[in-house]
Amino acid sequence: MNTPPLRGLHHVTAIAGDPQQNLDFYVGVMGMRLVKKSVNQDSPDTYHFFFADRDGTPGTGLTFFPWPGARPATPGAGKIVEVGLAVPRDSLSYWEARLRSHDVSVNPIEERFGREVLPFTDPDGMAAALVGIQEERSFAPWDDSPVPVEHQIRGLHSARILERSLKPTDTLLTRVMGFTRHGSDGEWHRYADSENSSGTIVELREVDERGSGNWGPGGIHHIAWRMQDDAEQEQLRSIVEKVGLRPSPQIDRFWFKSVYFREPGGALFELATDGPGYDRDEAPDKLGEKLILPPWMEERREQIEAALPDFVNPLQV
């Protein structure tokens, strides 16, 4: 198949509970910038927060739908169960001390696939890990972050998925999406670009269970893969459709364009274009300061704003 080049993760979207708690943690503790404050376009009574580096560089985005009062997520087959965030290798001791000082649930540093990793759990119970890397990443440092530049998160590193059967998803990744197998570490099997680059990695583990878990606070909703432009996205969408995975039509999210489909095990994948970008409707130095709606939702702004809870940016207090 004439598969487009594998460009890696674009963003990961998860579900939170209280929006203030979510914002306090990812800005105030993790030091990420809120680059876009919007709403879930499919359910606009819910915020959509976009955290990233200073510029919202594709590959650095971790986004959340806060659903206050919803039942917590439970893991299961077909669920994305962890996101990995890349930091400089020498920063792990800094991060371990910082997270513990903020009463974050942290596990001891461990080794995975030859790299040191610091697993932790965010305030909603989402599993995450800081992964020490040596290589340079495309990253825009944020001078106003509470985390010093030398320790800031460089972007998404990886995602982990539970599967009832490895083979169907293995086939999708290697024969349709351009991934390369990179062996196993315990029960986890790694797929990435040919260089095993940070930011292109997905890891799978087979589980012998019938339950598929449920979405909710602490759960990861989907992972998005980078597409350079509309043409590249349509090329891969067409291939995905030919193998029977029923991708959605292209959906305009204003800051990027999206196609969604479920991989054979049930996890939700997105193909997201790199542009137009988060500065399409806000000046780069003003990102995330106001509630931004795509143009087709502006006529409902008053109604939408009335349904949303108040919160404050911890760095603007």
Dihedrals phi, psi of 75, to nearest 5 degrees: -75, 165
Could you give the CA distance from residue 182 to residue 204 in angstroms, rounded to a whole number? 11
Q: What Cα–Cα distance (Å) separates residue 179 from each residue in 43, 234, 246? A: 33, 18, 20
Residues in a beta bridge with 45: none
The number of beta carbons lying within 10 Å of the beta carbon of residue 244 is: 7
- Cα four-point dihedral sign 226, 230, 235, 240: positive
| Mean pLDDT, each 10-residue run in order, the chain (317 residues) | 92 98 98 98 96 98 96 94 98 98 98 98 98 95 98 98 97 98 98 98 91 89 98 98 98 98 97 97 96 97 95 80
Could you give the CA distance from residue 125 to residue 127 in angstroms, rounded to a whole number? 6
| Tens of pLDDT, residues 197-232 | 999 999 999 998 767 788 899 999 999 999 999 999
At 210 the pLDDT is 67
Q: What Cα–Cα distance (Å) separates residue 192 from each residue in 2, 21, 50, 53, 225? A: 18, 33, 24, 22, 12
* Check whether domain 9-307 has CATH 3.40.190.10, yes or no: no
Q: Cα torsion at 289, 295, 296, 297 (round to 10°)?
A: 20
At 317 the pLDDT is 56
Domains in the chain: boundaries: 9-307
Residue length of the chain: 317
At 154 the pLDDT is 98
| Tens of pLDDT, residues 6-18 | 999 999 999 999 9
> What long-range pairs does 290-294 form, CB within 8 A, spacing at least 24?
290/37, 291/37, 291/38, 291/39, 292/36, 292/37, 292/38, 293/38, 293/39, 294/38, 294/41, 294/252, 294/253, 294/254
At 91 the pLDDT is 98
Q: Read off the amino acid at residue 58.
A: P
